[in-house]
Structure 1
Amino acid sequence: METLSNLESFIRSAEAGSFSAAARRLGLTPTAISRNVAMLERNLGVRLFHRTTRKLSLTEAGEQLMANMGSSLDVLQAALSQVGNVNAGPSGLLKISTPTAFGLNYLMPMLPAMRERYPNLRVEWHLENRQVDIVAEGFDVTVGGGIGRGEGLVAVPLAPAHLVAVASPGYVEAQGMPRHPAELAALDGIVIRSSNQGRVRQWTMRNAKNQETVAELRESLIVNDAVGVIQAARLGLGVALLVVPDALPGLQDGSLVRLLPGWWVDAGKVSLFYSTRNLMPAKSRAFIDFVKEEFERQHYDEKFYGSVP
């Protein structure tokens, strides 16, 4: 297993381009990563990296080893994990990325029951509203919405990703209730700037008659996080387009009201994503199956439809 650990240190360093980044991914120190790679080089009798104070690059031998190994290490680790967990059940560290509000409101409340079922499974949560690189950043599972998350990923749909227009009761009382999406342009808009693309996205709303129109929100307030959009809407700063899961808590406690109840945005599906592998680790399969089971039990697939006023 020492050789396997050394190989993992080499591959993650090559993927990340530095010992420090590989160390963060593997939960080790940069010194330990460097030592593992040096041991592998000594055992193979070749140098795998060109090292400078600023740069880490593969030698010809390193490139050949990386090309030959490819995803074989992931497959081997998954196979060992499954064999080792036949009797003990899923175990180890599960690294997950999920949007902040969605994770706090819907996934974390599942943790007590999941921990009771899988006591040997540890979870590292990354609450962040960005599209992560699953492989490069070492995530086992990510949660997100929309369509298309890159090649080599498998999507497990959970519920619709529908957006609806909301505002605070006070704002609606002062400005009036719009009757058509075109009237949103005259109101204060609370929008989010994508951290990946650096722009404010425009959405197309539709109704039950399959009529479509662009929802033009005036950019009165721009934030870089969905949680900020939710809070700004609650404070009466304007109108926001929120995915139904993010809007529901405010709609239920009365801090938000839905505008244009016959109109919504269809942004695809809220899904669990994992990297394509020949063998999925038991810990990832356990988490995915557990979340799917809970979503079915809670009827979230029905509750998250924007077409229901």
Structure 2
Amino acid sequence: MKNKALQLLGESILPGESKTIDVEIAKLHTMAKLKIPVIVERSKIEGPIVLFSAGLHGDEINGTEIVRQLIIQKINKPKKGTIICIPIINIFGFINQKREFPDGRDLNRVFPGSKTGSLASRFAHFLVKEIIPVLDYAVDFHAGGASRFNAPQIRIIPNNSELKELAKVFNAPFTLYSKNIQGSFRNTCTKLNVKMLLFEGGKSLDLNNAITQEGIEGTKRFLSHLDMLSLKHETTKSNNDTLFIEKSNWIRAHYSGMFIGLVKIGSFVKKGTVLATISDPFGKVEHPVRATANGYIINVNDAAIVYQGDAIFHIATQINT
């Protein structure tokens, strides 16, 4: 790509050029145009092409805030190569503050999509045909759904030494080995040889500054590793190395009732530790929720009311450094 224009979404972006491309995929039912900004920054020096994306699920706005901060702090202006930012992929869900597309489908389950399929499927097809083919790397930012708060973590497929090295570089508190899900954005990127890290942190419809900072600092370390971080920015070293999670279990509610969590996200707990209580609203019964094993709490249910069978804690039980 040396000294050549990058062809993207019908536009030519020259070395050293900045361009925002407003992409119109579909219209609202009112016939109003709905455009998705794709923000491209190219260095004059040849290098990798990296995507930072968020909002694949429309209610996961903490990821959008991370990408927004990369833009306003000019972290997305690379020393070399090209950085593409899409702060909101599912603009429909973002407007409605919902996870899904208007057709009720989860965009992250319909890849690679279809040109003539449902609205979500058509959008997945657009990403596969227009964005993914130019990429070398991607970091996709997510948050926990259904009132569940995720500790900041990177998710990668097992047995991939290059992704493991990139996860070490990003250095989130936790790295979870997680198989690709059929129909997911990550699975499609893997098939098309794009090296992707999936970041999880916080919960839906919420902004958390600590999560945002973890995402920003990890991104700077990631770009520095690729020799793409501008000299204007400095990286910070985390106090601890990421912990690789090889096995984890969900703790589910045995009772329905009012839920009061007692442990902090990211905490190490011992088997038998009381993690929460579930109570009836009339002051007659109170049930303790105990840790089923030694491990780190990597997800906590923040709901005030839970039902029997609800997932309430995700505990990492097998850790490697």
TM-score under structure 2 normalisation? 0.25
Q: Is the helix fraction higher in 1 or 2?
A: 1
Higher RCO (Cα < 8 Å, 6 or more apart): 1
TM-score under structure 1 normalisation? 0.26
Q: Is the strand fraction higher in 1 or 2?
A: 2
